[in-house]
């Protein structure tokens, strides 16, 4: 078990199966030692989705959980791409898109679900720049979609 996966286990998590793209795009693209991870939705390990609008159907706490599942799905994709999560040397940028009702203004608190997990797992290397916009609608009515840019070392 890798160091990163051991930290996940300590927190009570295991990696889900990496999600397949739902369109004509790559799960990840690379240039040098930088990788752009395509956005993933709030899909749980059992395949069920956290769906709905924050501020209408879902609470901030439910949105935080949804963003955490996005981060776990991103980690699963990183492992698929790199073979070993210990190769990740930094989470550089996170964008968390939140399916929001017009009056909802707590997108940053929702996306903290992903950001907090990255910091818990990678420590200072998990700290990142971030955007957390509210969206009128997301594919399949998913609650949150998160993408990120990472740095990695050669294996």
79 is a domain residue: yes
50 is a domain residue: yes
> What letter does residue 111 receive in the DSSP assignment?
H
For residue 7, give its domain range. 3-13+23-152
Q: pTM for this structure?
A: 0.96
86 is a domain residue: yes
Total structural domains in the chain?
1
The pLDDT tens digits for 65-106 are: 999 999 999 999 999 999 999 999 999 999 999 999 999 999
Q: What share of the chain is helix, strand, coil (3-state, %, to 5)?
A: 35, 30, 35
Task: For residue 141, give the CATH number of its domain.
Answer: 3.30.1330.40
Q: How many whole angstroms separate alpha carbon 112 and alpha carbon 117?
A: 8
18 is a domain residue: no
101 is a domain residue: yes
C-alpha pair distances (Å), 14 with each of 1, 24, 53, 73, 79:
11, 28, 27, 10, 12
Strand partners, 60: none
Low-confidence ranges of the chain (pLDDT < 50): none
7 is a domain residue: yes
User: Which pLDDT value is given to residue 115?
Assistant: 98
User: Which pLDDT value is given to residue 22?
Assistant: 86
46 is a domain residue: yes
């Amino acid at each position: 078990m890798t160091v990163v996966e051991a930290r996940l286990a300590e927190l009570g998590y295991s990696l889900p199966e990496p999600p397949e793209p739902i369109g004509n795009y790559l799960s990840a693209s690379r240039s040098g030692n930088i990788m752009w991870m395509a956005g993933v939705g709030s899909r749980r390990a059992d395949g069920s989705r956290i769906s709905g609008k924050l501020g209408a159907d879902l609470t901030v706490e439910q949105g935080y959980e949804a963003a955490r599942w996005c981060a776990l799905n991103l980690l699963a994709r990183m492992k698929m791409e790199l073979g070993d999560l210990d190769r990740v040397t930094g989470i550089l940028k996170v964008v968390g898109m939140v399916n929001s009702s017009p009056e909802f203004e707590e997108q940053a608190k929702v996306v903290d679900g992903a950001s907090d997990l990255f910091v818990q797992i990678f420590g200072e290397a998990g700290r990142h720049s971030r955007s957390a916009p509210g969206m009128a609608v997301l594919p399949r009515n998913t609650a949150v979609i998160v993408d990120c840019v990472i740095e990695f070392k050669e294996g």
